[in-house]
Structure 1
Amino acid sequence: MDWVKQLNEAIHYIEENLTTEISYETISKIAGCSVYNFQRMFSYIADKPLSEYIRSRRLTMAAFDLLNSTDRIIDIALKYGYESPDSFSRAFKSFHGVLPSSVRNETVQLKSCPKLSFQITIKGAYHMNYQIEHWPAFKVMGISHKVKTAAAFEVIPGLWEKAWQDGTMRRFMENFPDYRPAGFLGIAAGGQWGDSEGMNYIIAVTNHVDVSECQPIPVLEGMEEFAFPAAAWAIFEANGELPDATQKVYKQFYTEWLPNSGYALADLPVIECYMQENRQEVWIALVKK
């Protein structure tokens, strides 16, 4: 499948550049999705963040260099992107449990992070409830926050907490339209297709769908309006306690559903819809291969 091939090509790029600068933009272009979506996808498939995988691979190879070469420790540190022996020693000890100097002076136990290789596996232990809809263009109104892509998973929960505290959610509820995508929306926009290491995270509600019977809801003061084109969306049920319910959907989507679907990711944000009574939907835009 092309999708699996693209993932393996992204891993090959990382492997070829462990001793040089690794560009997240280049990785995402190879994989054919945004930086944010690739990081999200990688974390669910590999069960670790992309940054941790890269760091672990570099420290794995650094240990091999210590064992198999006579290069100075400072030269090995610089080779794998560490600016000083101290920073290298701290990272090395955190990963391997021993100092770099001990590798050459003692018999020590080291850790190894092997190179990843992706392949299709058919599991199907849990069914997924989904539908594919060709949804018309629509608009949302809300608050946009600039977020560094690498810090998104840590920052975004705090944005929701702030929205509840500062009255944003109360204003939504007082002017709540019954349009789809439904509920409170979490949208990661921008940073598409490797063009940026930052993005806008939008907390919003849908205020217009481009059909004749839908009346636009005026944008509330202090909020912005964002437009999305007509597209094919795979809409997955993600009911249950958060964050486990949505995380389970993403893991199954990236590891089982997408590789076997005949679809590829479209150049549009992933939308999470939060409704009442632990009901959630995940909207993922797709294009037919």
Structure 2
Amino acid sequence: MIASLNRVVDIVEQQLAHDPAAPVEVAALARELGTTEHHLRRMFSSLAAMPLAEYVRRRRMALAAAALVSADDDLLTVAVRHGYGSAEAFGRAFRSVHGAGAGDVRRDGGPLRTQPRIRFHLSVEGSTPMDTRIVDLPAVTLIGRAARVPLVHRGENEAIAAHTASIPREETVRLAGLNDVEPHGVLAVSDDLDPDRAEGTELTYLHGVAVAHPPLADGDTDSGWDRIAVPAGTWAVFRTDGPHPQALQEAWAATATSWFPSQPWRLRPGPEIVALQEYDAEAGTAVCELWLPVEAAPR
């Protein structure tokens, strides 16, 4: 996967040099590299700490800045050459990347926040083995209480915390009693995620459990739970045991930086699930399982 990501960067650079206005077709890139758009976007975003689209935008603006400083073309010509229909739209995009106006940069030569070309490297230390198993899971239904929340990369997600706090404890206990299949335990489910995992994009968060067959309430009426139907498929399950949520967050990051690049598996679309199995509030520790939907990567 590391070689594929570096090849993506090479192709992006070649395309920007040839025609900086042309859009980068991620689906076509994925097909050329023998992977899926979903996996390519997810791995790039995880390892580069920015979506692929954002990297392309920053690199395009780096080339635009060089054109402003070194050439005599007017702002509109530079804007059109780099894919913008007006000097105003170009100016807004330029300022959002560089923190300075295009006219100011042309006059003063800066300041600039130039995005360097990325190169990916795999550092295999092997000092922290990952407790992992591969599971073929039949179709299940995730039931519970769901809400739309923004994606937050660092720190507490206040929207998720507020949603979870709003669910009565007795409801969580009732849900736990309905869990009859893997993943076991009360689940934190993230679904309908932006492919690039861009900060601030919305996702569906469900606090609930997995069941083989959705239950009905008294009188054979619908129980009222929110539901996510999960088709049969293969999952990579990562077990964590330690300070919470640090151990879980570190394992989540390590799946992208260490596990996927060295394993014959790739991510497929589907919810990402955290199963809380044990929690010691006094010690601040927990035993969790992180479930990620995967498929065999072509050899």
If the length of structure 1 is used for normalisation, what is the TM-score? 0.73
Q: Shift of the alpha carbon at 1:38?
A: 5.1
> Would the aligned equivalents of 1:33 and 1:267 in 2 still touch at CA under 8 Å?
no
Report the alpha carbon displacement of residue 142 of structure 1 after superposing the two structures with TM: 2.9
| Maintained 8 Å contact 1:138/1:206 | no
Deviation of the 1:202 alpha carbon: 4.3
Identify if the C-alpha distance between structure 1 residues 234 and 81 changes in structure 2 by more than 3 Å, giving closer, same or farther.
Answer: same
Report the Cα distance in structure 2 between the residues aligned to 1:30 and 1:142, rounded to whole angstroms: 40
Structure 1 Cα separation of the partners of residues 75 and 227 of structure 2: 54
Deviations 1:94-152, CA, capped at 9 Å, x for gaps: 543543234433344533212323344323343322222333332211345567xxx64
Residues 43-91 of structure 1 show CA distances to partners (whole Å, capped at 9, x for unaligned) of 3211234454233212111112113332211232344345543454454
Structure 1 equivalent of residue 119 of structure 2: 117
Tell me the residue number matched to 1:223.
225
Is residue 187 of structure 1 aligned with residue 185 of structure 2? no
Candidates 246, 250, 253, aligned match of 1:251: 253
Q: Residues 132 and 233 of structure 1 are in contact (CA less than 8 Å); yes or no, is this contact kept in structure 2? A: yes
User: What residue number does 1:174 align with?
Assistant: 174
Q: How far apart, CA to CA, are the structure 2 residues paired with 1:27 and 1:161?
A: 38
Residue matched to 2:289: 281
Describe the superposition over 1:224-256 as per-residue Cα deviations: whole angstroms up to 9, x where unpaired. 433334433221124455654343223221121
Tell me which of 62, 65, 69 is aligned to 2:64. 62
Using the alignment, how far apart are the partners of 1:188 and 1:64 within structure 2? 41
Q: 1:45 to 1:69 in 2, by over 3 A?
A: same
Q: Which amino acid aligns with 1:187?
A: S
> Superposed, which structure 2 residues align to 1:111-190 within 5 Å?
111-145=113-147, 152-153=151-152, 157-167=157-167, 170-177=170-177, 178=179, 179-182=181-184, 183-189=186-192
| Residue type of the alignment partner of 1:80 | H
Q: Which sections of structure 2, spanning at least 5 residues, go unmatched?
A: 196-200, 217-221, 281-285
Separation in structure 2 between the aligned mates of residue 204 and residue 29 of structure 1, nearest angstrom: 36
Q: Which moved more, 1:119-128 or 1:54-63?
A: 119-128
Q: Which deviates further from its counterpart, 230-239 or 74-83? A: 74-83
Please tell me the root mean square deviation across aligned C-alpha atoms, in Å: 3.8
| Number of aligned positions between the proteins | 272
The offset of 1:165, in angstroms, is 4.5
In 1, distance between residues paired with 2:248 and 2:131? 13
User: 1:232 and 1:7, CA in 2 relative to 1: closer, same or farther beyond 3 A?
Assistant: same
1:9-45, Cα deviation, whole Å (9 max, x unpaired) = 544564436523445666666674465x655433321
Matching residue within 1, 4, 9 for 2:2: 4
Verify the 8 A CA contact 1:163 1:169 in the aligned structure 2. no
**C-alpha contact 1:139 1:226 (8 A) present in aligned 2:** yes
Identity %: 23
Match of 1:206 in 2: 209
Which sections of structure 1, spanning at least 5 residues, go unmatched? 193-197, 210-215
Task: Give CA deviations for 1:189-239 in whole Å, capped at 9, x if unaligned.
Answer: 4878xxxxx986240433424xxxxxx461573224333344332211244
Matches within 5 A, 1:9-158: 9-12=7-10, 14-15=12-13, 16=15, 18-22=20-24, 32-33=35-36, 35=38, 39-82=41-84, 84-108=86-110, 110-145=112-147, 152-153=151-152, 157-158=157-158
Query: In 2 relative to 1, CA 11–243 (structure 1 residues): closer, same or farther, beyond 3 Å?
Result: farther
Matched, 1:235 2:237: yes
